[in-house]
């Protein structure tokens, strides 16, 4: 029952996130210190700050995730693949890439699959690949197609949102549909607009296995130890 999740149990599902474009090295150091204090699963940062997070979180106890093709997804597949490769080389254990939404809306799923596969080819397992589908932009059939395409291309997770799109972030309906589509084979990351413990628990109840959030400390403080 998600209602009985403790602070520690929820923390172990969280990617503690700072993707503000004005974030500094000092900000990332503070993020990593807070991540250790809170006991989260990972931090998620911009590609140019990956090495700072990896320096401040050596080893594997807290993972480092970096984004690629962020936040629009309208980058070439080659650039996304290169960005992912550099992130992994500078210490990222995980990469969260944004799909090309124009291709998705046009129904060009083979092209979407090829770009995800290009990124996967540059960051083979054990590096974790999460595919951001920006679910608020897509209809239900498109969400299903995006998830199936990500799975076919070798992704490890499907992820709702960047948190930057004006259409909105994660919803329980989208998470439930994504979880139903990928089953237990892939993880589902809910991200974007999670502001309270109730929000977080609702996403887990809908099927999320990972949560991306920036208000981590305040959200965890709402839960029992």
Catalytic site positions = 96, 159, 189
Q: For residues 161 and 149, what is the distance between their CA atoms, to the nearest angstrom?
A: 16
Q: For residues 134 and 211, what is the distance between their CA atoms, to the nearest angstrom?
A: 15
Strands 63-68, 42-45: pairing kind: parallel
**DSSP secondary structure letter of residue 55:** H
65 DSSP β-pair partners: 44, 94
- Please tell me whether residue 128 adopts helix, strand or coil conformation: strand
Residue 193 neighbours by CB distance under 10 Å: 16
Q: For residues 157 and 179, what is the distance between their CA atoms, to the nearest angstrom?
A: 10
- How much helix, strand and coil, in percent to the nearest 5, is found in the chain? 45, 15, 35
């Amino acid at each position: 029952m998600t209602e009985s999740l403790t602070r520690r149990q929820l923390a172990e599902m969280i990617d503690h996130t700072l993707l503000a474009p004005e974030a500094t090295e000092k900000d990332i150091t503070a993020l990593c210190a807070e991540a250790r204090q809170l006991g989260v699963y990972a931090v998620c940062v911009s590609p140019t700050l990956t090495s700072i997070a990896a320096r401040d979180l050596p080893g594997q106890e807290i993972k480092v995730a970096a984004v690629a093709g962020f936040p629009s997804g309208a980058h070439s597949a080659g650039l996304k693949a290169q960005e992912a490769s550099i992130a992994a080389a500078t210490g990222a254990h995980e990469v969260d890439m944004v799909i090309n939404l124009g291709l998705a809306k046009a129904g060009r799923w083979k092209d979407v699959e090829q770009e995800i596969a290009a990124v996967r080819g540059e960051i083979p397992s054990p590096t974790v690949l999460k595919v951001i589908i920006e679910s608020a932009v897509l209809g239900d059939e498109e969400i299903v197609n995006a998830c199936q395409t990500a799975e076919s291309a070798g992704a490890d997770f499907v992820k709702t949102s960047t948190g930057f799109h004006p259409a909105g972030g994660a919803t329980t309906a989208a998470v439930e549909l994504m979880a139903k589509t990928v089953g237990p084979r892939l993880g589902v990351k809910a991200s974007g607009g999670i502001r309270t413990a109730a929000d977080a628990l609702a996403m887990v109840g809908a099927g999320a296995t990972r949560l991306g959030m920036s208000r981590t400390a305040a959200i965890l403080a709402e839960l029992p130890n």
